[in-house]
Amino acid sequence: MGPTLGVIDCQVRLCSAARSMNVEQLSDSPQSEHGPSNRWWILSLVALAYFVLIQHRSLLFYVQEPLSKELSLTKTQLGTLDMAFLIPYSIAQLFVAYLSDRLQRRRVLACSLLASSVALAAMGFSNGLYSLMGWRIVLGFSQSASVPAIAGVMADCFSSKNRSTAIGVYNLSLNLAFITAGKYGGLFADLPSMSLPFQSLGIGPAELSGWRLAMLSFGVLGGIAALGIFAVMDEPERTERQEQKGLGAEGAALHVTVGSVLKIRSFWMLAIAFVFFCVVLNAHDMWLPRYYVEEFGMTNEAAGQFATIWSKTTTIVGLLLGGFLADRLARRWRTGRILVQVLGIAIWVPALYMLGSVTSLNLLAGVMVAYGLGFGFYVANLWTTTFDVIDPAARSTAIGYLNVIGIAAAPTTTVIGYLVDEKILSLGQAISGLSLVAGGIVAVLAVNAMTVLRSDYRGPLLETSPVPALPDDS
């Protein structure tokens, strides 16, 4: 009996050792080092979802001139429409971001995208400020679960060695969405009104103007995309979670997960910088096309195209280059990703000032090229700088709470609209003033890199020793 048990025990030990060797070999393989084999296919699907979502939330910017004329809206009221989206979008993430840390992200994303499509199409039948505002609120709630779900998918599909590069590629969809919405939203807005045959039934307006047709068309296409993504997207396996460590492999309760995020000082520094970033972004995206219509006499189509084609095209370069640089610097320094962000926003400071003060269209094109490059450097590393200080089981929650804290920037477009309506500032002066906010972003990121990041860091360099350090990283 004794010898037999000894042989069995020996066989069990050998099998266990073999399994361990297989696991080690798997973790050392290129697939395991960089993510699952279908990672780029999944990235293309979440990028398509983001492409649709950004079109839905930004289409208003490029049809605002005929919309405001038809519904007699002031610039202040147009600003409230942007805020009507941003506030529910941010507040809802107090709760819905956590869903993607526990539920299937593909289901969360598909439902969010489908609801967004319905809300946008319904906006096309609005007859006044309050109905538009109501559907913008629904749009905000609908989209609130989408970005945390995408962030979780991206973190699980790519490793710390290539995440910034992957997120840079993913964010190409952001720029293509703005270019598409700017070009074709403006094109729809310039179309003449169409009479509708079912007005006698009391359904919608008597005529379908161009801005209404834009919302209906983009909404229908979004619904088709939502169904397609749900049909073909696989749910990726969750990665980098560890039993008996942090929040564990299965995650934790809502209050525990949120608490693990909010106690990180570096997260708060990144969040403050993100609020300033949102101030600039909200004002830029809302008012720059209108500025070109009023200051340079452009059509809606021309203004939408000019406001996007130069900056969004070069943002693609910024995203790819910024992600590539950050992934390599992050292998040497804890501050590597933040350094790329600081460089990008430093470019913004003079670019934003010139954007609202230059009168030459050729020079403006060059300024927007610089703006786009800086945007790409920052955004390619927005999620990854957060992942470097957050428990892997709280990634979606953390990205959601960045948006929650970003609610502080929601009144930006309304405030600027009021200042312009009251002739306190011109649109050009308001846009130039954003350069001061960009300077604040640089300051906050630099302080984070030089102070609290070292103690909060939990990125890939923890696995290596000794850790190379910059002078401010020692």
Indicate yes or no: pTM above 0.75: no
Q: Is 195 helix (H, G, I), strand (E, B) or coil?
A: strand
Tokens of 35: 């993510």
- Could you give the angle at the alpha carbon of 405 between the alpha carbons of 403 and 406, nearest 5°? 60
Between the alpha carbon of residue 10 and those of residues 3, 4, 5, 7, the distances in Å are 10, 10, 8, 5
Query: CB–CB of 119/269 below 8 Å?
Result: no
Summarised one tens digit per residue, pLDDT across range 334-348 is 999 999 999 999 999
Read off the pLDDT band of 331 (50, 70, 90).
confident
Query: CB–CB of 318/375 below 8 Å?
Result: yes
Residue 158 phi, psi dihedral angles, 5° rounding: -135, 150
- Residue owning tokens 């066989």: 11
What's the residue count for the chain? 474
| β partners of residue 194 | 208
Q: Which residue has the higher pLDDT, 241 or 382?
A: 382
User: What pLDDT is recorded for position 96?
Assistant: 76
Q: Is 474 helix (H, G, I), strand (E, B) or coil?
A: coil
Q: Which residue has the higher pLDDT, 371 or 455?
A: 371
Between the alpha carbon of residue 228 and those of residues 51, 109, 281, the distances in Å are 14, 12, 30
| β partners of residue 195 | 207
DSSP 237: P
Distance CA(326)–CA(164), nearest Å, equals: 6
DSSP output for 110-148: HHHHHHHHHHHHHHTT--SHHHHHHHHHHHHHHHTTHHH
Q: Is 291 helix (H, G, I), strand (E, B) or coil?
A: helix
Distance CA(379)–CA(369), nearest Å, equals: 16
DSSP 243: T
Instruction: Give the containing element (helix H, strand E) for 338.
Output: helix 336-355
Q: Which residue has the higher pLDDT, 240 or 231?
A: 231
Task: Flag whether pLDDT at 473 surpasses 60.
Answer: no
Q: Of the candidates 354, 356, 425, 342, which has an alpha carbon nearest to the alpha carbon of residue 385? A: 342
Q: Of the candidates 341, 337, 360, which has an alpha carbon nearest to the alpha carbon of residue 276? A: 341
Summarised one tens digit per residue, pLDDT across range 298-327 is 888 888 888 888 988 899 899 999 989 998
Task: Flag whether pLDDT at 2 surpasses 50.
Answer: no
Task: Flag whether pLDDT at 247 surpasses 60.
Answer: no
Q: Of the candidates 84, 91, 89, 87, which has an alpha carbon nearest to the alpha carbon of residue 130? A: 84
The CA radius of gyration of the chain, in Å to the nearest whole number, is: 24
User: What pLDDT is recorded for position 154?
Assistant: 82
Distance CA(431)–CA(438), nearest Å, equals: 11
For residues 342-357, one letter each, b for 16 or more C-beta atoms within 10 angstroms of the residue's C-beta and e for the rest, the string is: bbbbbbbbebbbbbbe
Task: Flag whether pLDDT at 17 surpasses 70.
Answer: no
DSSP 425: S
Query: CB–CB of 173/189 below 8 Å?
Result: no
User: What pLDDT is recorded for position 472?
Assistant: 46
Task: Give the domains, in start order, of the chain with CATH numbers.
Answer: 38-191+207-237+251-473 (1.20.1250.20)
